């Protein structure tokens, strides 16, 4: 049972435009959500997180939006840069589960120069 | 600050053998968790250790085990290797293990032949 889903396996965006990556979850006990970026042959790198008590969190070019009623979160990257080309994973956890993260299957973002 | 260090980076083993992977967390981090990444299953949680105690365990067979030492370094062991154990094994650490971002190492690529 895939509790965290990223339905778009890939996304291609023009440099300078907005990239929107989406993620849906089914477990209503999830209360902390994260986005990671992964390059080949490297471990995932933490980008941004959001607690369930918020609906938006910004960090520079990255903004995460959380819609709890829809069990949906999205990552906006503005403006997109070629260096953003990577695989993006969303992940979720429950407060009671420590560092156990449930990951989505990833979305491969390609930013075209 | 040095990041999460995993050794070795690459490993080739034969079916039936056993393997031990090592992880040194970021200095000061007390929680260490392990994940398996495969093309078909994505990132799957294996287990988490905090203060030398296993705090959480994923849905993997008993052939997968781990431990944490008093200096927070961790090892995971896989016995009686199967072809399906071929994967990227990622270690991650965090300061306290609760709603704080995980910092991942670059992983150990295990190939079972």
If one compares A1 and B7, the residue with the highest pLDDT of the two is: B7
Q: Are A99 and B42 within 8 A, CB to CB?
A: no
pLDDT confidence band for A93 (50 / 70 / 90): very high
A-side interface with B, Cβ within 8 Å? 31-32, 34, 36, 41-46, 49, 51, 89, 91, 93, 95, 97-106
Residue B91 has which token pair? 């270690």
What tens-digit pLDDT sequence spans chain B (113 residues)?
679 999 999 999 999 999 999 999 999 999 999 999 998 778 999 999 998 999 999 999 999 999 999 999 999 999 999 999 999 999 999 987 667 889 999 999 999 99
pLDDT at position A98 over 90: no
What are A35-67's pLDDT values in tens digits? 999 998 889 999 999 999 999 999 999 999 999
For residue B98, what are the β-bridge partners? none
Q: Are B42 and A41 within 8 A, CB to CB?
A: no
> B34 CB near a chain A CB, below 8 Å?
no
Helix (H, G, I), strand (E, B) or coil at B85: helix
Q: Cis link prior to B8 (omega < 30° from 0)?
A: yes
**Residue A103: which of B93, B13, B7, B38 has the closest Cα?**
B38
A97 phi and psi angles, rounded to 5 deg: -105, 15
Can you give the pLDDT at residue A41?
82
Residue B101 has which token pair? 């971002």
Q: What is the mean pLDDT of chain A?
A: 94
Q: Which of B44, B49, B99, B106 to mutate to test the interface with A (most CBs of A within 10 A)?
A: B99
- Pinpoint the alpha helices (H) of chain A: none
């Amino acid at each position: 049972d895939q509790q965290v889903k990223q339905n778009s396996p890939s996304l291609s965006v023009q440099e300078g435009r907005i990239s929107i990556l989406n993620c849906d979850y089914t477990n209503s006990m999830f209360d902390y959500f994260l986005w990671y970026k992964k390059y080949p042959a490297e471990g995932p790198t933490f980008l941004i997180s959001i607690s369930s008590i918020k609906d938006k969190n910004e960090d520079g070019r990255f903004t995460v939006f959380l819609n709890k009623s829809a069990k949906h979160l999205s990552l906006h990257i503005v403006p997109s840069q070629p260096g953003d080309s990577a695989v993006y994973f969303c992940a979720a956890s429950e407060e009671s589960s420590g560092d156990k993260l449930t990951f989505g299957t990833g979305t491969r973002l390609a930013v075209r120069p | 600050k040095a990041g999460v260090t995993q050794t070795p980076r690459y490993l080739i083993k034969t079916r039936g053998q056993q393997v031990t992977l090592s992880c040194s967390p970021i200095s000061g981090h007390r929680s260490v968790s392990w994940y398996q990444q495969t093309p078909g299953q994505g990132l799957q949680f294996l287990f988490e250790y905090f203060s030398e105690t296993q705090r959480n365990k994923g849905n993997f067979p008993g052939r997968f085990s781990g431990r944490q030492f008093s200096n927070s370094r961790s090892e995971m062991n896989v016995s009686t290797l199967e072809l399906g154990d071929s994967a990227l094994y990622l270690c991650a650490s965090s300061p306290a293990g609760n709603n704080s971002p995980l910092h991942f190492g670059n992983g150990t690529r295990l190939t079972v032949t």
